[in-house]
Structure 1
Amino acid sequence: MSALSGPVPDTTPRQRWLYALINLGLTIPAQAGSFLLLYYVDVQKLPPSWAATTMSLFAVYNAVNNPIIGFLSDRTRSRWGRRIPYLRFGALPTLVFFALLFFAPVSGAQNPGALLAYFVVMWVLWESFGTAAGTGYLALLPEMFRTYAERTDVAWRMNLVQVLGLLIGLALPPVLAAQIGWGPMAAVFAGVAALAIYSGLRGVFERPGSQEVAGLAFGPAVRATFGNPSFLSVVVAQTMRFVTTGTLATGMGFYVKYSLGEPGGTVTTLLLATAFVVAGLSLWPWRHFVARRFGARTTLMIAYGLTALAVVPLAFVRDVPGALATTVGFGVALAGLILMGDVIMGDVIDEDEMITGQRREGMYYGMSGFLTTLSAAITSTVFGLVTARSGYDPTLSVQPGGVAEGFRLFMTAPAIVGALLALAALAFYPLHGERLAAVRRTLAARQVSR
C-alpha cells in the first residue's frame, strides 16, 4: 500500500507560486555562501590551504547528515506532517547562522587559528539547520505535485524564482559588501530570505495518509535507494552539475580580479547577473520547445552538452566584453539544468513507489544530498590545488604571473569535465520512454483502484 491514499487533486496556481517563493528564501543564502572562500581567504586572510581543507571536510560532514535527516523526515509523525516541521522550524536558525558567518570577529593575519575555529562552528550550525530545511522543502515537491504536467509547471515557477535568488545571492554580495560591509550584507540577505520562506509556507501541504506507513528501517532504506539504477544515474549527473556551477560561482571573483585584471566587485556582479538573467529568460523556451518534446533525460543531456561548450571561451578571453558574451551562453545552458533537475528526481521517486509501495522523498533527497554535497569537496580540492600550483598568496600585494592562468584553468576544466561526466551518467539512465510510461500507468491505476 502506498503512503498516499485517496484521490490526488491538482494544486492551484497560487499554491505553486507560494511553493516557488520558498525557493527564493533558500537560494539566496545558499548562493551567497559561495563567497565564503573569498571572504575568509581574500578579506579575512585565512591561509588558502586551511580554507580548502576545511571546506572539503565540511562536504564530508554534510554528506553524512543529509541521508540521516532525509530518513528521519520519512519517519516523522507530527501534527504539522512529515516534511513541514523541518522547513518551518529549521529555516530561521539557518538564516541566523548564515549571517553570523560573515561577522568574523578576528583576522587571519593576526590569529588564523581563532578565525578557523569561528568559521568551523558557524558553518556546521548553518549547514545542519539548512540541510533540515532544504530536505523538508524538496521532499514536498513530488508529494504535492504528482503529475508530469504539474511538476514541469511548478519547476518553471520555482526555477524562475530561483534565478532571482541566484541573481541576488551571487551577483549582489560584492557590490553590497563594498557599500555596507560583508556582515551587514549577510544580515540583509537573511531578512529577505526569511520573508520569502515564511510567506511561502502558507501554500504548502502534505496529502492525507502521508504519515500512515512506518517506512523502511535505515539500512534497508539505504540499500533500496542505492539499488535503484535510475537514482544512481541522476545523482551522478546532479553532482557534476554542482561541480560545474559551484566552480564558476566560487571562482568568478578571483577570475575577474586576477585573470581579467578588474578590481572591485562590479564586474563580477555584471557577469553573474548576466548569466542568471539570461537563464531566467530562457526557462520558458526550454520548457516549451525542449522539455515538452524530449522529456527530462534528453533535455538534461542537451543542457549539459551546451554547458561544456559554453565555458570554453573563459580560457581565452582577455577582456570584460568577451567574458560577458561567454556568460550569456552559459546562462542559456544553465536554464536547462535548473529546470529539469527536480522533475527527473520526481520520476525516480515515483518508480520507487511502484517498487516499494512507499513514498520515500526524504530518503531520496537525503541520499542525493549525501552525494551531491561531495561536489563542494571536489571544488574546494581543485581550488586548493590551483592556488598552490599557481603561487596565489592573499598576503601579497602583487600576485605571481601564473595566478591569472591558474584561475582561467579553475573556471574551465572542472566545468567541462563535470558536464561530460554528467552526459555519460545520463546515457545509462533507464527511466525514459516506455519504461517511464509504464511507471506512470501503474501509479495512475493504483490511484483509481483506491
Structure 2
Amino acid sequence: MVQTSVSVLLLYFYTDILHIPPASAGGIVFLGTFADAFSSVFAAWVANHHHSPLGRYRPLLIGVSAPLAVFFALMFSRPDLSAGQLWIYAAITHLCYRICYAFTLAPHSALIGRLSSDADERSAIGAWKAVANNLGLMAAAYLGISTVEKLGGTDPARGFTMFGAIFGTAAGISVLYSALATRERAGGRHDDTGQFIPGLALILRNSQMRLVLASTLIFFAGYMLMNSGVVYFFKYILMRPEEAKFAVVAIGVGGIVMPPLWSAAIRRTSKARIWATGCIVMAFAFVSIYIFGVVGSLPILLSYFLIGAGKSAVIVNFYAMTADAVDYGHWKLGARAESYSFGFLSLANKAGTAIGGGLLGLLLDWSGLIVNARQTDQTLGRLWAVICLAPAALAVASAVVVLFFKVTASKHREMVMELQAREGEL
C-alpha cells in the first residue's frame, strides 16, 4: 500500500505541491530508489548474520515497522521552508523512507521460500500476495486520493500531510502484524550462504536467477511509468483529475480478479509464460489507448482494468520464480544464496523503479509540461506517448526476457527430490 502510494502520488506531490521541477523530482525518486535497492542487499546480509528464536526474517520486520510509519508520514508533509530547503527535505525524508522500506520488502519477500518448498504452492501464495498488493493499490488510489481531497479541502498540502500520517500508521501496524503472525519453516542442514561475495558469485552463476532479475528490473521500470503517469494523464490530457482514482481502482480490481485465474493457468503452462502473457496484455491496453485516442470514461476504465489484470500476472510470479531460481542454483551449483537472492530481487525491483522514476522526470521535461497550467498541443501529444508507449515497450521487453526461464513445476519437483536425496546422504 505505501509503495503504491509512492509510485502513484509522490512524484505528483513533489511537482504540484512542493513545486519541485519535474527533472529534480524524478532525480529524488531515482536516488532514493537506488538507496532502497542497495539497502535491500544490506538487509539480506543482516538477515544472514543474526540468530533469533523468531527466525531469520521476522525480527527485521518487527524492528522496521515504526520507522517505516514515521518516515512515510514525513515524506508527504510540507514544512515551511524555502524552495532549496524543500528539495533537501524531500530528498532526506525520501532516502530514509526507502531504507526502511528495503528492510521491510527484502525479508518479507524472502519468507515465501520459508513458507513452502512446493512450486505450485508458491504460485498460490504468490496469487494471494498479488491480491493483497492490489487491495493496497486500491486503498492507495481511492482512499488515498480521497483522503487528500476531503481532509485537505482547499489546502491539498494539508490533505497530503493527513494522508501520510494515516497511511504510514496503517503500514507500520500491518508490517508488525505480519511479522508476529508468521512462522518460518526451518532450513536444511546446508541452509544458506552467509558471506556476501560467495553469495553474489552464486547469483551471477545462476542463469535462472539472472533472468528473473533482468525481467524484474525491466518490468518495474515500466510499472513506475504506469503508476506515476495516471495522475498526469487525467489531469493534463483528459482534464478530469478527479477520475484518476477510479483508474487506479480499475487497475486494482483487475489485479484482484485475475490472480486466482493466473495461478490456475500456471499449473497448465508455466510461470514464465503467464508472466509474459500478462506483459503483453498490459502493452495491448496501453497501445490501444494511444492509437485510438481513448478518452471516454468507460473505455478508459476497461483499459486500466486490463492493465491491472496483466500486471497481476507478474506480481503472482516474481517472488515464486525467485524461490524456484534459488532452488535451481542450489541444485546446479551445490549451495544456496536465498537471502541474497531476495535482496538482489528487491534491488532489481527498486533499480527498475528508480530508472522508471528518473526516466519519467526526464520525459516530462522533454514533453514541455508546465505544472498547473494548460498545455500546448505539442506537449499533450508528447504526454500521450510518454504515458502510453513507454510502459508498453518496457512490458514487451520484460516478456521477451522472461520466456528464457526454464524452471517448470515438473523440473522443480525433480530438483527438490534430488536435493532431499543429497541431504539424506549427509
TM-score, length-scaled by structure 1: 0.86
Kept after mapping to 2: 8 A contact 1:69/1:132: yes
Change in Cα spacing, 1:129 to 1:449, as seen in structure 2 (3 Å) is same
For residues 20-52 of structure 1, what are the alpha-carbon distances to aligned partners after superposition, in whole Å with 9 as ceiling and x for unaligned?
xxxxxxxx1111112111001111211222112
The root-mean-square deviation of aligned C-alpha atoms, in Å, is 2.2
1:412 paired to 2:388: yes
Change in Cα spacing, 1:97 to 1:179, as seen in structure 2 (3 Å) is same
For residues 373-423 of structure 1, what are the alpha-carbon distances to aligned partners after superposition, in whole Å with 9 as ceiling and x for unaligned?
2222322232223222222122x5333333322321122222121112112
Change in Cα spacing, 1:242 to 1:367, as seen in structure 2 (3 Å) is same
Counterpart of 1:218 in structure 2 is 196
Moved over 6 A (4+): none
AA partner of residue 199 (structure 2): A
Kept after mapping to 2: 8 A contact 1:387/1:403: no
CA distance in 1: counterparts of 2:103 and 2:340, whole angstroms? 12
Counterpart of 2:274 in structure 1 is 299
AA partner of residue 4 (structure 2): Q
- Of residues 351, 368, 375, the one that matches 1:374 is 351
1:314 paired to 2:289: yes
- Of residues 233, 242, 246, the one that matches 1:255 is 233
Give the fraction of aligned pairs with identical amino acids, expressed as a percent. 19
Counterpart of 2:154 in structure 1 is none
Secondary structure of 1:39's match? helix
1:87 paired to 2:61: yes
Counterpart of 1:60 in structure 2 is 34
Change in Cα spacing, 1:117 to 1:43, as seen in structure 2 (3 Å) is same
Counterpart of 2:104 in structure 1 is 133
Change in Cα spacing, 1:431 to 1:222, as seen in structure 2 (3 Å) is same
- Of residues 2, 5, 12, the one that matches 1:38 is 12
Q: Cα distance, 1:214 vs. partner?
A: 7.3
Kept after mapping to 2: 8 A contact 1:75/1:215: no
Q: Cα distance, 1:160 vs. partner?
A: 1.5
Counterpart of 1:349 in structure 2 is 326
CA distance in 2: counterparts of 1:92 and 1:105, whole angstroms? 21
- Of residues 344, 360, 366, the one that matches 1:389 is 366
CA distance in 1: counterparts of 2:227 and 2:314, whole angstroms? 15
AA partner of residue 69 (structure 2): L
1:112 paired to 2:88: no
Kept after mapping to 2: 8 A contact 1:55/1:377: yes
CA distance in 1: counterparts of 2:129 and 2:106, whole angstroms? 15
Change in Cα spacing, 1:162 to 1:211, as seen in structure 2 (3 Å) is farther
CA distance in 1: counterparts of 2:185 and 2:316, whole angstroms? 24
Counterpart of 1:326 in structure 2 is 303
Query: Which sections of structure 1, spanning at least 5 residues, go unmatched?
Result: 1-27
CA distance in 1: counterparts of 2:187 and 2:328, whole angstroms? 19
1:360 paired to 2:334: no
CA distance in 2: counterparts of 1:53 and 1:155, whole angstroms? 32
CA distance in 2: counterparts of 1:440 and 1:214, whole angstroms? 16
AA partner of residue 172 (structure 2): A
Counterpart of 2:73 in structure 1 is 99
Counterpart of 1:179 in structure 2 is 150
For residues 113-152 of structure 1, what are the alpha-carbon distances to aligned partners after superposition, in whole Å with 9 as ceiling and x for unaligned?
1101111111111111110121111111101211123212
Change in Cα spacing, 1:211 to 1:84, as seen in structure 2 (3 Å) is farther
CA distance in 1: counterparts of 2:422 and 2:175, whole angstroms? 34
CA distance in 2: counterparts of 1:66 and 1:195, whole angstroms? 21
CA distance in 1: counterparts of 2:183 and 2:219, whole angstroms? 29
Counterpart of 1:29 in structure 2 is 2
AA partner of residue 326 (structure 2): I
Kept after mapping to 1: 8 A contact 2:110/2:339: yes
Map residues 129-208 of structure 1 onto 2, 5 A cutoff.
129-180=100-151, 181-208=159-186
TM-score, length-scaled by structure 2: 0.91
Q: Cα distance, 1:182 vs. partner?
A: 0.5
CA distance in 1: counterparts of 2:172 and 2:351, whole angstroms? 27
CA distance in 2: counterparts of 1:341 and 1:64, whole angstroms? 19
AA partner of residue 409 (structure 1): A
CA distance in 1: counterparts of 2:270 and 2:35, whole angstroms? 34
Secondary structure of 2:269's match? helix
Kept after mapping to 1: 8 A contact 2:330/2:336: yes
Change in Cα spacing, 1:448 to 1:281, as seen in structure 2 (3 Å) is farther
AA partner of residue 204 (structure 2): F
Kept after mapping to 2: 8 A contact 1:390/1:400: no
Secondary structure of 2:380's match? helix
CA distance in 2: counterparts of 1:384 and 1:397, whole angstroms? 17
Counterpart of 1:398 in structure 2 is 374
Q: Cα distance, 1:211 vs. partner?
A: 9.3
Aligned residues: 416
CA distance in 2: counterparts of 1:250 and 1:270, whole angstroms? 14
1:284 paired to 2:281: no
Q: Cα distance, 1:356 vs. partner?
A: 5.0
Change in Cα spacing, 1:313 to 1:341, as seen in structure 2 (3 Å) is same
Q: Cα distance, 1:437 vs. partner?
A: 4.3
CA distance in 2: counterparts of 1:398 and 1:240, whole angstroms? 33
Q: Cα distance, 1:72 vs. partner?
A: 2.4
Kept after mapping to 2: 8 A contact 1:86/1:132: yes
Query: Which sections of structure 2, spanning at least 5 residues, go unmatched?
Result: 152-158
Counterpart of 2:312 in structure 1 is 335
